[in-house]
Amino acid sequence: MKIKTVHIIVVALIVISVILANEAFFISPYSTVSQVTENGEYVGKKVKILGTVVNASTGWSEAGFLLFNLTDGQATIAVAYSGSLSQSLKDGQEIGVIGTLTSPYLVNATKLEVKCSSKYE
């Protein structure tokens, strides 16, 4: 029996769908900075953190990482981001940070989700 191209495409689409669903369901929704810093169970795991960029905390490391602090008003966490900045990052801006928590107060971010300014709402 010959395997048709349509069968191969259907199987490939199913595999891609399973991978995307796995990523969507097993990354928890956004946690607050306080939730992540208060609980040691997040260390070494992938996290999604929602917070506000602390004023005057943004800078660059010698290795080329963007460094800034993120807060929810109760706790603060340091963020080291190594990706490209497609959008401007401003003090006081609410953002989502996705990455690995390397210690209770440091996340190595692989993705930043910058909230659009109110003029687009």
User: Are the C-beta atoms of residues 29 and 50 closer than 8 Å to each other?
Assistant: no
* Greater pLDDT, 17 or 44: 44
Confidence of residue 121 (pLDDT cuts 50, 70, 90): very low
Confidence tier at 69 by pLDDT (50, 70, 90)? very high
What is the tens place of the pLDDT at every residue in 85-114?
Answer: 766 778 888 999 999 999 888 999 999 888
CATH number, domain 29-116 = 2.40.50.140
Residue 90 near residue 107, CB atoms below 8 Å: no
Check residues 85 and 45 and name the one with the higher pLDDT.
45
Residue with tokens 């440091």: 106
Q: Which residues contact 79 (CB under 8 A, 6 or more apart)?
A: 66, 67, 68, 69, 70, 97, 99, 106, 107, 109
Q: What is the pTM of this model?
A: 0.70
How far does Cα 4 stand from its chain's mean position?
40
The whole-number pLDDT of residue 91 equals: 86
More reliable by pLDDT, 26 or 4: 4
Q: Is the pLDDT of residue 76 over 50?
A: yes
pLDDT at 101: 92
